[in-house]
Amino acid sequence: NEGYVGVYFRGGALLSDVTSRTYSSDTMSVTVLLLTCGNNLAGFNWKMPFVTSCYHVQVTVQTDHVDNIPCGTSGGVLISFDKVEVVNRLRTKDVYDTIKNYTVHYDKTWIFDKIHHEINQFCSKHTLQEVYIDLFDTLDESLAKALQRDCNEWAPGIEIIAVRVTKPKIPESIRYNYADMELQKTKLLIAHETQRVIEKEAETDKKRATIEAEKVSAVSKINMLKEIAEKESIQKIHALEDIMHVDREKVEIYIAWADAEYYKSTREADANAARLTEAFLEYTRILRYPLYDLFHIYVMET
């Protein structure tokens, strides 16, 4: 059969020869390597009935189903796993050594019995809550690692590809409690979600009110700034008017002062013109001379 190799026993002793059969999809040719009895030549040979026996060993990927695995948790609760599936493969080059050490039923030792052992070890170290809920999602991976670790040490030809574990069966009363607990969790989750929605709605309303208040505040601020700007403009206009009024008053005062100065100058000019007589001119001329000179002039004139 495709995917199988043949191993042979003669008189109960395993022979080192392993037959294989390969098919080519292109040429549909068939190559058959058969066991040779007493020689190493390929071909058809005779074998003695009831002395030489043949077993077919699968070397492709296969799935072993380990059913009904009872175990007890660390708390003393008895549970059972309905089915554990182990996807594995026996490497062709290691068929002889594996069969020699563990017979053609090697999978019973390293898969079936080993799964029972690992499941019981896991359950005995953990509580029902851990086995059924908390650590169940890691069980398949831990089983695969445990199987592969021991196979690498004692049966390296066995390759563990994957492990799939079904949910364990627990006592009905406990299962009912778990179902009720899940129901309560669901209700609590719904309550939390409802509360979260209400809080979100309240937060949204608060943000909306804040935005509206900020909008009103911004509009009020704009209006206030507008009024302030208008008042400042009015004040500036009034200040300019005051400055212009003061300037006009200054101009009027300056004009009045200029008129007064002009009038004063005119009056002084008229007064000076009235004083410019010969006697006044003589008087001013005399005032320019010192007293000695005046005496000398007086003596000379006399």
What distance lies between CA 278 and its chain's CA centroid? 119
Give the mean model confidence (pLDDT) for residues 248-255: 87
Q: What is the pLDDT of residues 58-87, one digit of tens each?
A: 999 999 999 999 999 998 899 999 999 999
For residue 26, the model assigns a pLDDT of 34
Residue 36 has pLDDT above 60, yes or no: no
Task: Give the pLDDT score at 66.
Answer: 96
Give the mean model confidence (pLDDT) for residues 28-49: 44
Q: How far apart, in whole angstroms, are the C-alpha atoms of residue 9 and residue 37?
A: 11
Per the model's pLDDT, the better-predicted residue between 140 and 293 turns out to be: 140
Confidence at residue 27, expressed as pLDDT on a 0 to 100 scale: 31
Residue 33 has what pLDDT? 39
Mean pLDDT rounded to a whole number for the chain: 83
How far is C-alpha 89 from the geometric centre of its chain's CA atoms? 40
Asked if pLDDT for residue 289 goes beyond 70, the answer is: no
Torsion of CA 230, 232, 234, 238, to 10 degrees: 180
Length of the chain: 302
Instruction: Give the chain's end-to-end CA distance (angstroms, integer).
Output: 184
Residue-level pLDDT at 246: 87
38: left (phi over 0), alpha (psi -120 to 50) or beta: left
Q: What is the pLDDT of residue 127?
A: 92
Q: Does residue 45 surpass a pLDDT of 60? A: no
51 versus 281: the higher-pLDDT residue is: 51
Q: Looking at residue 24, what is its pLDDT?
A: 34
Average pLDDT, integer, range 16-35 = 47
* pLDDT (0 to 100) of residue 3: 84
Give the pLDDT confidence score for residue 99 in this predicted structure: 92
| 80: its two tokens | 């059972």
Q: How far is 70 from 116, CA to CA, in rounded Å?
A: 8
115/46: higher pLDDT = 115
Residue 112: the pLDDT is 96
Mean pLDDT of 38-63: 71
- The 3 state secondary structure assigned to the chain is CCCEEEEEEECCEEEEEEEEEEECCCCCCEEECCCCCCCCCCCCCCCCCCCEEEEEEECCCEEEEEEEEEEECCCCCEEEEEEEEEEEEECHHHHHHHHHHHCCCHHHHHHHHHHHHHHHHHHHHCCHHHHHHHCHHHHHHHHHHHHHHHHHHHCCCEEEEEEEECCCECCHHHHHHHHHHHHHHHHHHHHHHHHHHHHHHHHHHHHHHHHHHHHHHHHHHHHHHHHHHHHHHHHHHHHHHHHHHHHHHHHHHHHHHHHHHHHHHHHHHHHHHHHCCHHHHHHHHHHCCCHHHHHHHHHHHC
According to CATH, the superfamily of the domain at 60-170 is Band 7 domain (3.30.479.30)
d(CA 290, CA 187): 133
CA separation for the pair 226, 223 (Å, rounded): 5
Q: Which of 35, 11, 9, 10 is nearest to 21 (CA)?
A: 35
Nearest alpha-carbon partner for 30 in 8, 7, 53, 1: 1
Question: What residue ranges do the domains of the chain occupy?
Answer: 1-58, 60-170
For residue 216, pLDDT beyond 80: yes
Cα(47)–Cα(9) distance, rounded to whole angstroms?
11
User: What pLDDT, on the 0 to 100 scale, is given for residue 247?
Assistant: 86
Confidence of residue 297 (pLDDT cuts 50, 70, 90): low
178 has a pLDDT exceeding 60: yes
Maximum C-alpha span of the chain? 202
Most confident of 118-132, 171-185, 209-223, 240-254: 118-132
> Which of 117 and 257 is assigned the larger pLDDT?
117
- Taking 90 as the threshold, does the pLDDT of residue 31 lie above it? no
pLDDT reading at 168 higher than 80: yes
